[in-house]
Structure 1
Amino acid sequence: MKTFKLAALSILHDEVHREDISLIDGLIINKEDNRNRWLIEMYLDKKYEELFSRLQQANEEFRLQVTISHKSNDPANMLATVRSITRMSEHMSVLMDGLLVRNKTDLAEIVLANLVEQGLQGEALLKEFKHQLHERRGIKETVKGV
């Protein structure tokens, strides 16, 4: 098994809506079982308790994007289930089982397809594409206008 720092995590509610989770800390462990299974542990603020309790009670897989090691890395797509929630005074720990989903569509293609579907064109499309790509990769924009 190999352990990595969990740099960022987002829950994908559908193709357009995603919820970024503010991590205090997190680890992601590759089980190296030839089935692309991972173990994900996050240390979070209790404000996420309702969300993860609901996901745990549903006992169904949900989609995630996880970024390993550095926020500038491209996120990986996973299907996950909540294994356990440990409540503490002001924080909580969430343990999840994840399955790495390898698809041929990369992050840039997903972002571009969503923007085209929204009807963006020309300079507006380019500007929003760069903005969303940087946002999803956790890169702070320092150039005015992206």
Structure 2
Amino acid sequence: MKTFKLISMQLADEDALVDIEMEDGLIINKEDDKGTWLVEVFTNHKYIPYFQDACDNDKEVIVQVVITKRENDPAAFLTKVCCIKKLQNNASILLTGKLTKPKSDYPEKLLEYLLDKGYKGDELLSEFKDKIITRPKILQPKKV
């Protein structure tokens, strides 16, 4: 098994991504023959309903996470909620799942976003080079 630091998490909610504000988190590659990963996030109680519905109804949840360093590409996982523990100040959410292929990759989304913003020519190239490194969130996340 290999364990990695979870840097950020977003939950896919219909056509938008919901930023999950984290206190801490980790992700474990179980390195089993099924390709199973475990994701644990420590977050605010206000995010429990997002995961509780999936847990109660045995629904799959798509999460997008960044592992180890903010500059890394986000990875999408198809998960199920295993456990929700309400702690005094936070909640611990444990998910199990498999790595999935994203519908489209970050560079394509970034380029589309910059074109929609009206960038052209050298200005487009400059913005693309900057943002491909800094990796700002290009989808407008829902605020909770």
Equivalent positions of 1:63-142 (< 5 A) are 63-103=62-102, 105-113=104-112, 115=113, 120=116, 122-123=118-119, 126=124, 134-136=135-137
Report the CA distance shift for 1:104/1:49 in structure 2 as closer, same or farther (over 3 A): closer
Shifted more, 91-100 versus 49-58: the winner is 49-58
Query: Which sits farther off after the overlay, 98-107 or 79-88?
Result: 98-107
Equivalent-residue separation in structure 2 for 1:38 and 1:102 (angstroms): 15
Task: Name the residue aligned to 2:18.
Answer: 19
Offset of residue 92 of structure 1? 0.9
Q: Name the SS for the 1:136 alignment partner.
A: coil
Change over 3 Å in CA distance of 1:21–1:128 after alignment to 2 = farther
Higher relative contact order (CA 8 A, sep 6+): 2
Amino acid at match of 1:96: L
Q: Does structure 1 residue 5 correspond to structure 2 residue 5?
A: yes
Change (3 A) 1:7 1:81: same
Count of residues in correspondence between the two structures: 133
SS in 2 for 1:12: strand
Question: 1:128: how far off?
Answer: 8.6
TM-score (norm: length of structure 1): 0.76
Q: Distance in 2 between matches of 1:27 and 1:47?
A: 20
State the Cα deviation string for residues 8-31 of structure 1 (Å, max 9, x = none).
Answer: 11011234x111111101110001
| Residue in 2 that maps onto 1:61 | 60
Identity of aligned residues (%): 35
Provide the rounded CA distance (Å) in 2 between the counterparts of 1:121 and 1:23: 30
TM-score for both structures, normalised by structure 2: 0.77
Q: Is 2:33 the partner of 1:37? A: no
Q: Secondary structure at the match of 1:99?
A: strand
Structure 1 gaps, min length 5: 138-146
Q: Deviation string for 1:19-45 (max 9, x for gaps)?
A: 111110111000111432200011111
